Structure 1
């Protein structure tokens, strides 16, 4: 095979891998509005000691081996402490495949932002971006 063709193929593969990685990175951690607002979650069903917020709930799904989950827990916990009507609930789904299947959790952490009624308003796959979480909370709290 021609060395120039091999170099071109390798360059093409590198470009494709780079483009895929950049697209994945751009989408990770972004809040996506949930199209169907009929999904209501009672957080007390997911964790015995969980209490929903009176204004909003930051529902984090984590696993034991998740490195970004600790940072996410700290971020969401500080936002909940800063905003009185907001609570943070962390559910470990390592040994709970039923929960992972029910909510189609494909990565950890995954965060749902619930309104005061427990309706899922936003979903974030991966480590959330602080500004986006805050903007979603402000939007939900202003509407209630």
Structure 2
């Protein structure tokens, strides 16, 4: 292989890898609408009182996740500032069955549930405060409509 061809191939590989990385990062931390059946606390191995009256924020994390502690503080703070909203942290290190069931490919992953336990949004990666607040407003608006 000629040095020029090797250089062209190397540049092409770096370019493709960069484009793929940028595309993957674009979706990180953004909320996507979810259409799924309702969840119950027992499906997540939680007590019946674990879900909120108006909404529930379910965070899937692992012990070795670098972004999970900050996400946990953020979500707990948001839930604590709203009546009827509860934050639940599910550690997938001890529950790999849940990772497979809910198709969790990265942590943190957040599910936003309405008052009936129906997932309304899913956020892969560390969410922004405004994203979580907007989704909760949307969920609460749906609940009261």
In the superposition, the TM-score normalised over structure 2's length comes to 0.90
The residue that corresponds to 2:40 in the other structure is: 42
| Cα distance, 1:85 vs structure 2 | 2.0
Gaps of 5+ in 2: none
Partner of 1:70: 69
1:136 is aligned to 135
User: Which position in structure 1 is the counterpart of 2:54?
Assistant: 55
Deviations 1:43-83 (A, max 9, x none): 25424456211111100111111111111101101110121
Q: Which runs of 5+ in 1 are unaligned?
A: none
The answer for the alignment partner of 2:114 in structure 1 is 115
Query: Which residues of 2 match residues 71-110 of structure 1 at below 5 A?
Result: 71-110=70-109
Cα contact 1:44–1:51 (8 A) shared by 2: no
1:142 offset after TM fit, Å? 1.4
Count of aligned pairs between the two proteins: 142
Report the aligned-residue RMSD. Answer: 1.5
